[in-house]
Amino acid sequence: MLDQQVSPIAPQDRSVRTLRIITVAALFSLFFIIIPTLCGAGIIRDHYLNQLGRYICFAIAAIGIDLIWGYTGLLSLGQAFFFCVGAYAMAMHLALPQGGGDVRPEYNMIPQFMFFNNVHSLDHAPFWIPFRSRAFAISAGIFLPAIVASIFGFFIFRSRVRGVYFSIITQAVAWGAWLLVSRNEMLLGGTNGLTNFYKPLNQSRPWIVTLYLASLTMLTLAYLACRWITRSSLGRVLVAVRDKETRLYFSGYRPYRFKVFAFAVAAVLAAIAGMLYAPQMGIITPARMKVEESIMMVIWVALGGRGRLWGAIFGALLVNYTYSMLTSDMPSAWPFIQGAMFLAVVLLFPQGCVVLWDRIEVQVANRAGALAILAAAGPLLAISFFILLEALGLMPHALRQDLHGIQPKYILLLIAIGGSAFASWRLRQSKLKQVTAVALAGAPLAIMEGGAS
């Protein structure tokens, strides 16, 4: 398992390093500078930046899942619960007048839903009172999941519950929590959740850009932290837990400690993601806590690529944009595609999308021609480009016309991926047809780009 997921390229290779540096720099300037600037200039609508900000929150949670699943081998099906712990902690603060909540005098300046549960002052819901303070809300959002995860993890891992047993129990816990929070008696808004926050949070441009940048910074920090963990000797122990726990146990380690640690870190990351998500979404409901959501989070990581932190980020964005596109373009097809995604990622490409990148690096390391590199980069470029256009609302109108039930953009995407696959295959065979093949792959990309500008 370990061997498959380590990059096949020697990291010392100079051109590969250059490629990586260039890519990282490009991504940084794109997300940190270009996109906020474009939004400030009004080219990107606020709505799209808000959406991107929310999906970046999902990516933070995905990094946590990658840490426990990809590196430590614990498949938790309850991460959405920790996500919601953070989101609810923040939402409780935001729903109160001290957090800028939209409360009315006729409801005694407390969240409106409480009145429907016969609570007329916060004294009857004492656990709400400390959430008036922002510092408390934030620390609760961080420490509560950490404590819950540690206690739960301690009991579960110490008794050496592992593998699918662990998955089932986390799933059951998330299910139980969902049942509880959905009840009105919990005074957390029941199935309607918490809402009526300070309106400009997800409507005025300065707030949207601020929250977007905050999420992005948090993502970067989370990535760096997890990268540091996985590259340290601690990370090696985590991988050992995944690959041969019994041997580790007999070598004098206590695997459960490492598991509890990783589990708590993942829970905190999910909760931080939730805390940033709630204000950007403007509402948080128990539906986010459902078992389905947790499993969906796992599939982000599976599709992006386990055991590679950036794969988790890429997967989260990819799946969520696919979701938002398909649920608006062809709603009844989404569950089919979702299901097919699960099957495909498990059966056909268990390594996920990171393989696409590895292919580029191989070409670069082999000093292949520019055409070959371009052909290898085709699928990843096409997907990223497609998502970026969609994410920023820049998809040209012509490509969004309905054409016998399917939009041309999907056809172009398929042609681009298929074409570049065909191209890299042909390139290996003969140099003669290089130009035609690459042109074939490049044409749809060019069309998308041409339409965009």
Which residues contact another protein (rule: CB under 8 A)?
A: 69, 75, 152, 155-156, 158-161, 163-165, 167-169, 171-173, 175-176, 179-180, 182-183, 185, 246, 291, 295, 298-299, 302, 332, 335-336, 338-343, 345-347, 350
Contacting residues for 428 by C-beta, under 8 A, at least 6 apart: none
Output 133 or 338, the one with its CB closest to another protein. Answer: 338
Closest CA to 421 of 338, 337, 355: 355
Output 167 or 424, the one with its CB closest to another protein. Answer: 167
Output 143 or 155, the one with its CB closest to another protein. Answer: 155
The minimum distance between CB 81 and another protein, in angstroms, equals 13
Output 10 or 347, the one with its CB closest to another protein. Answer: 347
The minimum distance between CB 352 and another protein, in angstroms, equals 12
Output 17 or 247, the one with its CB closest to another protein. Answer: 247
Contacting residues for 334 by C-beta, under 8 A, at least 6 apart: 323, 326, 327
The minimum distance between CB 194 and another protein, in angstroms, equals 19
Contacting residues for 325 by C-beta, under 8 A, at least 6 apart: 390
The minimum distance between CB 73 and another protein, in angstroms, equals 8
The minimum distance between CB 187 and another protein, in angstroms, equals 12
The minimum distance between CB 180 and another protein, in angstroms, equals 6
- Give the up-direction half-sphere exposure of residue 434: CA atoms within 13 A in the CB hemisphere: 14
How far apart, in whole angstroms, are the C-alpha atoms of residue 107 and residue 183?
Answer: 21
Output 173 or 268, the one with its CB closest to another protein. Answer: 173
Output 185 or 402, the one with its CB closest to another protein. Answer: 185
The minimum distance between CB 30 and another protein, in angstroms, equals 31
Give the phi and the psi of residue 103 in degrees, each rounded to 5. Answer: -110, 155
How far apart, in whole angstroms, are the C-alpha atoms of residue 26 and residue 11?
Answer: 20
Output 78 or 111, the one with its CB closest to another protein. Answer: 78
Output 167 or 320, the one with its CB closest to another protein. Answer: 167
The minimum distance between CB 295 and another protein, in angstroms, equals 6
The minimum distance between CB 166 and another protein, in angstroms, equals 10
The minimum distance between CB 46 and another protein, in angstroms, equals 33
Copy the structure tokens of residue 74.
Answer: 């614990």
Output 69 or 357, the one with its CB closest to another protein. Answer: 69
